[in-house]
Amino acid sequence: MATSTINHIVIIGGGSAGWLSAGLIAAQPHLTHNAKVTLIESPNVPTLGVGEGTWPTMRQTLKTIGISETQFIRQCDASFKQGSRFDGWCHDAKNGESNEYYYHPFSLPVAYQSLNIAPYWFAQHNAVSFSHAVSSQTYFCDQNKAPKTHMHADYQTHANYGYHLDAGKFAQLLQQHCVDKLRVNHIISHVDEVISDEDDYISAVQTSDHGLITGDLFIDCSGHHGRLIDKYYKVPLQTQDHILFNDSAVAVQVPYADDEQEILSYTKATAQDTGWVWDIGLQSRRGVGMVYSSKFESTQGAKDKLINYLNTTQSDLDLSKLTIRELKFTPGYREQFWHKNCIAIGMSAGFIEPLEASALVMVELSLNTLLANFPTNRKAMPQLAKRFDQQTHYRWQRIIEFLKLHYVLSTRTSEYWQAHKAPRSIPSALIDNLALWRYQSPWLNDFDRAQEVFSAASYQYILYGMKQLPQFPQMKMPAAIIEHFTNSQQDAKQGLAKLPTNRQLLNHIKKFGLQPI
């Protein structure tokens, strides 16, 4: 580096991670002291495009980048997501079918900021599920309602929501906006060589078609390839397949039976003997896939289970017209995410599995952490890198524990599910928490960082959805508590009366748009 200041940020790789990085950085030049942004993208990189879920954080991300919700929904085949539904995760299916399900909605339990209402629900757990008792949003999900009406402006909401989107179209929208509106320099070329200085900081990359591209800070968004963090710096991946076994998936794009078929307001996750099936509803089609472990299932077996699921959900499908794609991944995350002047963001940093849609939110969290602690001088990088790594490691560990929770609590009896319950496969922190939660409910002190990935509310939804009630003395229901439960039910009734369906609102947005903020 000729200078110690950070004047040029170079992003390697496009896709959702690369263009989100470019957008959030370029849209906030005051945080980077007007650093120039260049994104280098290899030509002809295939995009999965089976449908991807976001968290509610994506609303603020899109607002910050400067993309209207109407434009986003129209161009990305996007739909509204209000949480996840888990079908058949608690017990084995009887006669091949299971009607048992529970929700992890995006809305917090009623009165959550001031009261842990879960212990008061225990006495009535046989009458109403936890999520239906404390969150009106689960009723909206039951009837595929939208989280808002056409009277709400861009990103405004009645119920908390994220999105389902086509990842390929999303990257295209971000690319167009970043180049046309935010002046991101876009280079399409292969990176042939990485060049570093005497301190082993990257000073430039040699491209096939555009020569030498110099930079001060390099962000690796090259996916599993890890062009900088892995191929150049050799930062190893800490594999997690001893905790979470899934390493494969088969996926397919499924057309709707007709243009008015209802669109799910949630990600549907249906348990199978050797994994689970995701079902995501976009505007024009569904994205469906079977996630599984190659230790317990063959590729053909996974395809057979996926086809069987498709036949049970849409009887008139012409399977001969569908293309099933095979995916392989190694669950894990890097030992370091920020090494020298290289930061791994997206799948180059790590990937576990699609459960609970943590991939894109980790991109958002990583970028927000970087921008809140942006290195104005190269000399500050070692300390900032250490802080960044500590925070990112903590987040990955919490994600792994939370995902593992879904498997540990199941009473399903196949070898795959029983292996997940083996004590040696369960993180010690989760073992300790589960021992504690036998006698009390998760609450704010269990997860007390300012930016937790999953709150105590999320743990409550999974624990009580999976029928894991603590040994807890029955509590009397004072009038104030009864009022909270009553208000939740009234909110549900009112919302069901005025909210359109997902399909109805999306059709309106395509035709008329939403009001700008």
Burial of 170 (0-12, 13-18, 19+ CB in 10 A): buried
Give me the amino acid identity at 220: D
Phi and psi at residue 303, to the nearest 5°: -60, -40
Q: Which of 159, 208, 260, 157 is nearest to 42 (CA)?
A: 208
DSSP 368-379: HHHHHT--SBGG
| C-alpha 485, offset from chain centre | 30
Q: Is the dihedral of CA 392, 398, 402, 403 positive or negative?
A: positive
Task: Return the structure tokens found at 135.
Answer: 């969150």
d(CA 349, CA 343): 8
Model confidence, pTM: 0.96
Return contacts of 366-375, CB within 8 angstroms, 24+ apart.
Answer: 366/337, 366/392, 367/20, 367/21, 367/24, 367/25, 368/24, 370/343, 370/345, 371/24, 371/25, 371/28, 371/31, 371/32, 372/31, 374/6, 374/31, 374/32, 374/33, 375/6, 375/217
Q: Phi/psi zone of residue 24: left (φ > 0), alpha (ψ -120 to 50 degrees), beta?
A: alpha
Residues 222, 46, 27, CA angle at the centre, nearest 5°? 50
d(CA 10, CA 218): 5
Q: Detail the DSSP E strand segments found in 261-412.
A: 267-272, 275-281, 285-292, 325-328, 332-334, 338-339, 342-344, 350-351
At 2 the pLDDT is: 46
Domain 8-77+163-241+332-397: which CATH class?
A: alpha beta
Q: Phi/psi zone of residue 83: left (φ > 0), alpha (ψ -120 to 50 degrees), beta?
A: left
At 315 the pLDDT is: 81
> Mean pLDDT in each 10-residue stretch from start to end of the chain (517 residues)?
81 96 98 97 73 92 98 98 97 76 98 94 93 98 97 96 96 97 98 97 97 98 96 98 98 92 97 97 96 98 97 88 94 98 97 95 97 94 98 97 98 97 97 96 90 95 95 85 96 98 97 88
At 448 the pLDDT is: 82
At 443 the pLDDT is: 95
At 1 the pLDDT is: 41
d(CA 25, CA 281): 30
At 450 the pLDDT is: 79
At 389 the pLDDT is: 98
Report domain extents, the chain: 8-77+163-241+332-397
Burial of 5 (0-12, 13-18, 19+ CB in 10 A): middle
At 60 the pLDDT is: 98
Task: Return the structure tokens found at 304.
Answer: 């057979």
The three-state secondary structure class of 415 is helix
- Measured from the Cβ of residue 378, the count of other Cβ atoms closer than 10 Å reads 18
Look at the block and give the residue holding tokens 């509204």: 80
d(CA 180, CA 303): 42
Alpha helices (H) in 314-380, listed in sequence order: 359-372
152 DSSP assignment: S
At 8 the pLDDT is: 98
Look at the block and give the residue holding tokens 């029928």: 467
